[in-house]
Amino acid sequence: MIRKPLAVCALLACVAFPFATSAAEPADMLFVNGSVVTMDPDHPSATAVAVKDGKILAVGGAELADAYQADQTVDLAGRMLMPGFIDTHIHIIGKSRRAVSLENARSITEVQELVRAKAKELGKGEWIVGYGWDEALFAEKRNLVSTDLDAAAPDNPVALTRAGHHSIVGNSRAIKIAGITKDTPDPERGVIEHYADGQPNGIIRERSDLYLSFVPPPTPEEMKPSFVSALKAVLPFGITSIMEALSTIDDEPVGKGGLAGAQPRTNPTYKQFREIYAEQGADLPRAALYIAYPGAERLKAFPYKTGYGDDRLKLGPIGEAPGMDGGFTGPTAWTIDEYKGMPGFHGHAAMELAQADELVRTSRDLGWQIGIHAIGDAAIAALINSYATALDEKPVKDHRWFSSHLTMLPPLSTLSTMAEHGIWGAAQPNFLYNLEGRYNQTLEGERLQHINPLGTPLRWGVRMALGSDNLPIGPLHGFYVAVTRKGESGTVYGMDEAVSRIAALRAYTQDAAYLTWDESKKGSLTPGKLADMIVLDRNLLTIPDDEILQTKVDMTVIGGKVVYKR
C-alpha cells in the first residue's frame, strides 16, 4: 500500500490507495529493500520510502520502485532506515586559539601532552583553556589537580573544564590570578576543593567564572569556524535536529535584550546562530535554542519568543541557566538525602526559590516555553512546584514546559504533579554510562538504582524526550542505557527504569519533536513530513544488546539532502 503525500490526499479525500497508473511519478530520492522503522504508529514498518522537494512523498513496499522514478536510488540491502535522532539537550562548543580538546583524552599524561604543546604554541604567560576531560576515562582513575597542570605548563595559567561543565581545574598560576588561597571561603553556589594540607587543589565546582573571567575573550570571527565544525560533527551520529541548551541574547542590541559590553563565549549566541544558518543552514542540523534567562527587563525588551524562526533555526525555551542546582560531575546536585559518605552534604540550590518563581512567571507572561535545569531530587521537586504554582495561577494552553535532565527520581508526588500539569521530562539516559563512577561515589540504595529514570515517570503519566548533554553526544549510548540499564562497567541498575526499544526510539524522534511543536513536521517517516532520515548498518529493534554500541550510521539525510555518508 502506498500512502500519498498530504497535498494529494487533500484532492482525494485522504483515502490511501495503491498506485494505479503505469506512468512513474518523479521523485528526488528512493530508498528500497530496507527495514524501514517509520515511528508512525499507524504504519510502523515498510521497505521503501520516496522523497521529493525535501519531504516524504510515499512510504510502502517494493511497488514504490515501479511507482516512482528517482534521480537517486539507494538500495538499503536490508539496512535500517528510520527518522533522524533529535537531541533535546546538546551544547555546541566552539574552540578558541587558546583551547585544547580533551574529549578523547584517556589519561592525565595525554592531557599534559596537549597542554604542553599548546603552551609551546602560545608562548609564556598566555592563558590555556580546554573542555571535556573525564576522570572516569583516565588510566589513572582520578581527577586532574593543579600539580598535574603545573608539570605541563609552569609558565602559563591553565583552566580546564570537565565534561558536563560543572567542574573546572586550574593550575597554580590560575589559582593565584583568581586570588584563591587556603582561606578563601566557598563562593556563592560553588565549592573550592583542597589538598589534605588545606591548600586549594585547583578544582572548583559550579563556578568556572572564578578562572575564566580572567581569560581574554576570543573574537566572534575566531570562534565561528569552530561553531560550524561542532554543528557538522553531530551529523555522523545520525542527529538531524538539536536543541542547543546554552545560547544567549547577550549580543543583541542594547534596548532590545542585549547586554552592554557582552563578550564572546564558547557557546554561540542567537545572533551568531542566525549568521551561521543564513550562510549554510542546509548543511547543518535543524536547531532550536534554549535561551539563558537574561532577567525580566532584558527579556521584556527582546522582541521575539519561543517559536520565532523557521524549520532550520528557531527559538526554543528559556532554560538551562540559571538552573535549580548543579550536577553530579561537580558534585553539587541538590538532593533530599545527604550524599553517600558525606554527612550533612546535600549539594545546594543554584538559585533562590523566589528567583526561580520570578523567572518562571516572567517567562510565562511573555509567552516563552520553559525548560529549567534540575538534576537532584530536591531541585526537581522545587522546580515542579514552581511550575505548577505558576500554571495554577495563570493556566497556559499547550505550554510544553519541561524539567531539563530529571536525573534523579523525584518524590512520586512530584511525578503526579508533572502528569497533572502536562509537564514533560527531557532526560539523558546516557549519563548512567558516562557518570557511573560518580553515581557510585555519591549515591546508594534506591537512589542509585533509580538514577536517570524512564520507566517510573512514564508509568506515572509523565512524557519523556531524550538527549545527550554531550556525555557523550552519540544517541546510541542513550538508547543502549534506556533499554539495558547498564553502566560502562556492565553493571545493571534498576531494570524497572528500562523501557522497550521502540519506546526509546520514540523518545529520540517523535516525542522529541513535540518539545519544539514539530511533531506534525518531523520525528516519523510519514508522507508530508520533512525528509530527515538516517540509515543504520543494523536494526536497533532486533540486534543483541551487545551490538547496539557497535551500530554505525551509514547515511544522514536532512530535508532530502545527504549531509553525511560513511
pLDDT digits (tens, 9 = 90+) for 509-529: 999 999 999 999 999 999 999
Contacts of 476 (CB under 8 A, 6+ apart): 237, 548, 549, 551
Sheet holding 286-291, edge to edge: 85-90, 239-247, 286-291, 313-319, 370-374, 402-405, 424-427, 464-466
pLDDT digits (tens, 9 = 90+) for 224-246: 999 999 999 999 999 999 999 99
Q: Which three cell numbers stand for residue 267?
A: 557557546
For residue 22, what pLDDT is reported? 55
Query: Across residues 476-487, what is the average pLDDT?
Result: 98
For residue 185, what pLDDT is reported? 95
For residue 248, what pLDDT is reported? 97
4: pLDDT confidence band, cut at 50, 70 and 90? very low
C-alpha dist (Å) from residue 352 to 355, 365, 383, 394, 515: 5, 20, 11, 22, 27
Spatial contact of 308 and 315, defined as CB atoms under 8 Å apart: yes
pLDDT digits (tens, 9 = 90+) for 359-374: 999 999 999 999 999 9
For residue 432, what pLDDT is reported? 97
Q: What is the pTM of this model?
A: 0.86
3-state SS class at 60: strand
For residue 6, what pLDDT is reported? 38
Q: Which three cell numbers stand for residue 219?
A: 573574537
DSSP code of 302? Answer: S
For residue 561, what pLDDT is reported? 98
295: pLDDT confidence band, cut at 50, 70 and 90? very high
pLDDT digits (tens, 9 = 90+) for 28-87: 999 999 999 999 999 999 999 999 999 999 999 999 999 999 999 999 999 999 999 999
State the Cα–Cα distance between residues 386 and 528, nearest whole angstrom: 39
265: pLDDT confidence band, cut at 50, 70 and 90? confident
For residue 13, what pLDDT is reported? 32
Query: Across residues 261-289, what is the average pLDDT?
Result: 92
388: pLDDT confidence band, cut at 50, 70 and 90? very high
Least confident of 3-12, 269-278, 318-327, 345-354: 3-12
List, in order of start, the domains of the chain with CATH numbers.
1-84+523-566 (2.30.40.10), 97-212 (3.10.310.70), 222-522 (3.20.20.140)
pLDDT digits (tens, 9 = 90+) for 203-223: 998 899 999 999 998 888 889
136: pLDDT confidence band, cut at 50, 70 and 90? confident
For residue 330, what pLDDT is reported? 72
Highest mean pLDDT among 278-282, 380-384, 433-437: 380-384
Pairing of strands 464-466, 424-427: parallel
Query: Across residues 115-119, what is the average pLDDT?
Result: 97
Give residue for cell 483515502: 15
Higher pLDDT, 93 or 61: 61
State the Cα–Cα distance between residues 330 and 442, nearest whole angstrom: 11
Mean per-residue pLDDT over the chain, rounded: 94
Higher pLDDT, 189 or 284: 284
Residue 229 φ then ψ, to 5°: -60, -40
DSSP code of 454? Answer: S
Does the pLDDT at position 302 exceed 60? yes
